[in-house]
Amino acid sequence: MLSVPHPLAPLSIEETNIARDVVRACHPDTVIDFRSISLQEPVKVDLVRFLDDEHSGRLSSTTHRPARQAKVHYDVIDKDMAPKYMESIVDIPKKKRTSYELISTDVHACLTV
pLDDT in tens, the chain (113 residues): 346 789 999 999 999 999 999 999 999 999 999 999 999 999 999 999 999 998 998 888 888 899 999 999 999 988 888 888 999 999 999 999 999 999 876 666 555 55
* Angle of CA points 44, 50, 55, to nearest 5°: 115
Roughly how many angstroms between the first and final C-alpha of the chain, as a whole number?
44
| Domains: count for the chain | 1
Flag whether 5 is in a domain.
no
d(CA 13, CA 16) in angstroms, rounded, equals 5
Residue at 83: amino acid letter: P
Three-state DSSP class for residue 113: coil
Of 78, 75, 79, which is closest to residue 105 (Cα–Cα)? 75
Domain range for 45 is: 13-102
pTM score of the predicted model: 0.85
- CATH number of 24's domain: 3.10.450.40
For residue 88, what are the β-bridge partners?
Answer: 72, 100
